């Protein structure tokens, strides 16, 4: 089951699936977790978010399309096809149906106005480009690709110092956008268009941002990897091993949950399986995620 399209005022939000399934063991993914406290979440998370057969957490890899009265916006672009990812065999030289799913949703790549990346990890930039005659070219030729300047400069510097462990993701999915003149580097609190703005949410990466959509008195927040899995809602200080600063990631997540608990804000995480979107609710001294 994937997220059903929903509306925010006069805007429509659609999920574009790349892959969904059992992905990683809880303790392997969250180094700060404990087996005892993880086990308390099993009943509420199985089977949609915790697969009982493999005992792995279930992850969704998906993008989101926002259609406003004026613009078509793609948020995060998954892993992508044909990418060299030898360190991640499950992502190496793949042929995902993502583009077919995009077209099936009625979105032509040429019609996209903005591509927004919450951060520049390998599974959020892949469909920025596609391979054409041996060259990486922008998948969305008429779009402006918005990258947080702080995020871009961090990864560009790291890439100059040593090859990134997850493969040449900047060379095949980010630099071609810059070279084509389609990249726009902005501050982490930049307003992209009326009702569409960024918010800095550092920790998972230094320049990670959330994307706020507001229309008709309604509010949605695309949170990228600020939260990877529903288990982090009741346990906000459990950060992933992929976070550049696990302590900051936990504090950012806790602050976000405190601010948006019991409000009408629709929270849209990148990797939550099933219905994906929902609202944060208070649950005693902590929080729970209410889907739908």
| pTM (predicted TM-score) | 0.97
Tell how many helices (H) and how many strands (E) occur in the chain: 8, 17
Q: Could you give the CA distance from residue 213 to residue 222 in angstroms, rounded to a whole number?
A: 8
Residue whose C-alpha is closest to residue 60's, from 115, 125, 15, 116 = 15
What b/e readout covers 204-227, taking b as 16+ CB neighbours within 10 angstroms? bbbbbbbbbbbbeebbbbbbbbbb
* Separation of alpha carbons 22 and 108, rounded Å: 30
Mean pLDDT of the chain: 97
Report the pLDDT averaged over residues 8-24: 98
pLDDT of residue 119: 98
Report the C-alpha gap between 81 and 92 in whole angstroms: 8
Q: Residue 8 burial (CB < 10 Å; 0-12/13-18/19+)?
A: buried
The DSSP line for 102-155 is HHHTT--GGG--EEE-SS--GGGTGGGEEEETTEEEESSTTPEEEEEHHHHHHH
Question: Percentage of the chain surpassing pLDDT 90?
Answer: 98
Yes or no: say if 238 and 33 are a contact pair by the CB < 8 Å rule: yes
Chain-centre distance for alpha carbon 70: 23
Euclidean distance between CA atoms 48 and 53, whole angstroms: 12
Q: Are strands 56-67 and 50-51 parallel, antiparallel or unpaired?
A: antiparallel
For residues 80 and 93, is the Cβ–Cβ distance under 8 A?
no
- Quick count: other Cβ atoms within 10 Å of Cβ 45? 19
d(CA 218, CA 197): 14
Q: Tell me the domain boundaries of the chain.
A: 6-291
Looking at residues 253-271, what average pLDDT do you find? Answer: 98
3-state secondary structure of 172: helix
* 45 phi, psi to nearest 5 deg: -95, -25
What is the model's pLDDT at position 2? 78
> Which run of H or E residues covers position 265?
none
Say yes or no: domain 6-291 is CATH 3.60.15.10: yes
Q: Residues 6 or more apart from 85 whose CB is under 8 A from it? A: 79, 91, 92, 93, 122, 166, 167, 169
Higher local confidence (pLDDT), 166 or 77: 77
Structure confidence by residue, pLDDT tens digits, 219-235:
999 999 999 999 999 99
**pLDDT tens across 117-172, in order?**
999 999 999 999 999 999 999 999 999 999 999 999 999 999 999 989 889 999 99
Task: Give the pLDDT band (50/70/90) at residue 41.
Answer: very high
Rounded CA-CA distance 58/50 in Å is 5
What pLDDT is stored for residue 1 in this prediction? Answer: 67
């Amino acid at each position: 089951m994937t997220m059903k399209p929903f509306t925010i005022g006069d805007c429509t939000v659609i999920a574009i699936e790349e892959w969904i399934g059992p992905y990683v063991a809880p303790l392997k993914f969250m180094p700060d977790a404990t087996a005892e406290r993880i086990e308390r979440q099993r009943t509420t998370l199985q089977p949609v978010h915790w697969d009982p057969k493999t005992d792995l957490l279930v992850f969704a890899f998906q993008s989101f399309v926002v259609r406003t009265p004026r613009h078509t916006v793609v948020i995060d672009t998954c892993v992508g096809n044909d990418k060299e990812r030898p360190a991640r065999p499950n992502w190496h030289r793949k042929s995902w149906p993502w583009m077919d799913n995009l077209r099936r949703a009625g979105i032509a790549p040429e019609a996209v106005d903005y591509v927004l990346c919450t951060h520049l990890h390998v599974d959020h930039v892949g469909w920025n480009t596609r391979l054409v005659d041996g060259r990486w070219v922008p998948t969305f030729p008429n779009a402006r690709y918005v990258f947080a300047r702080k995020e871009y400069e961090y990864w560009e510097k790291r890439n100059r110092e040593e090859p990134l462990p997850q493969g040449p993701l900047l060379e095949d999915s980010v630099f071609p956008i810059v070279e084509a003149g389609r990249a726009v580097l902005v501050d982490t609190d930049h307003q992209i268009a009326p009702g569409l703005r960024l918010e800095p949410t550092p920790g998972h990466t230094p320049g990670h941002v959330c994307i706020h959509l507001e229309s008709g008195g309604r509010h949605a927040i695309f949170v990228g990897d600020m939260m990877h899995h529903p288990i982090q809602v009741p346990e906000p200080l459990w950060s992933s091993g992929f976070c550049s600063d696990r302590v900051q990631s936990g504090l950012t997540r806790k602050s976000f949950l405190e601010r948006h608990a019991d409000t009408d804000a629709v929270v849209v995480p990148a990797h939550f399986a099933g219905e994906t979107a929902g609202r944060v609710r208070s649950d005693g001294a902590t929080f729970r995620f209410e889907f739908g």
